[in-house]
Amino acid sequence: MANQAVEMITKVLEQTVKVAEEQVDAQLSRLNEIDEDELERLKERRLEALKKAQKQKQEWLSKGHGEYREIPSEKDFFSEVKESKNVVCHFYRNSTFRCKILDKHLAILAKKHVETKFIKLNAEKAPFLSERLRIKVIPTLALLIDGKTKDYVVGFTDLGNTDEFSTEMLEWRLGCTEVINYSGNLMEPPTATQKSGSKFTKVEKKTIRGRGYDSDSDSGDD
């Protein structure tokens, strides 16, 4: 009786091993079926994808992406926005020191996010556009996608209410509107880079605000 039990167990084990071996053989067979021609086709598709990405990058660069630059007039604004899918426009004023803080961060992000155009425009030279886009606090970033204003970053409220916010914080805020390709966690801002005690405001995507005209640097919170 005991011998029969041993024999049955032995047969079950042998069958299990056989099935496992057959599965491994099948996998090896599939791998062997990927011949040199198939590998060559895979390499060609990969190379084609790389060429396409490089071509797209060159197209962006030809349209002024990859650098943070000033445009001279309202007329230039419309032409710049028309030719690029994603645009971040900084409405600034020379007398507002916080605009210079934004300049520093935007110059860094322009080089990092070539998929987006980063420009600046003196609000005092663009009264019609400022009125049309409801630019009432300086500095303000207008975030445009496909020629339409999707969101605004008004002052530093969404950036931790501090002049010492990080470039990563601004990058996260732009990512919330999807005006840049953001690879981080949109659910939480990068608060680890902020000073302890600073505050931040969680934002909903594509929220447009209007505020009373003022300069953020002269609003009594510096």
pLDDT digits (tens, 9 = 90+) for 99-155: 999 999 999 999 999 999 999 999 999 999 999 999 999 999 999 999 999 999 999
Mean of the per-residue pLDDT values for the chain? 83
Q: How confident is the model at residue 77 (pLDDT cuts 50, 70, 90)?
A: very high
Residue 213 pLDDT greater than 90, yes or no: no
Percentage of the chain modeled with pLDDT above 90:
61
pLDDT attached to residue 127? 95
pLDDT attached to residue 133? 92
Q: What CATH number does the domain located at 65-176 have?
A: 3.40.30.10
pLDDT attached to residue 12? 63
pLDDT attached to residue 31? 64
The Cα angle at residue 109 between residues 103 and 115, in degrees rounded to 5 = 130
pLDDT attached to residue 159? 95
More confident of the two residues 24 and 83: 83
pLDDT attached to residue 109? 98
pLDDT, tens digit, 9 for 90 and up, residues 143-191: 999 999 999 999 999 999 999 999 999 999 999 999 999 999 999 888 7
Phi/psi for 149 (5° steps) reads: -75, 115
Q: How far is CA 193 from CA 50, 95, 170, in A?
A: 34, 28, 11
Q: Residue ranges per domain, the chain?
A: 9-57, 65-176
Residue 2 pLDDT greater than 70, yes or no: no
Task: Say which residue the tokens 């056989």 belong to.
Answer: 18
The pTM (predicted TM-score) of the whole model is 0.70
Phi/psi for 74 (5° steps) reads: -60, -40
Residues in contact with 154: Cβ distance below 8 Å, sequence separation at least 6, in sequence order: 137, 140, 209, 211, 216
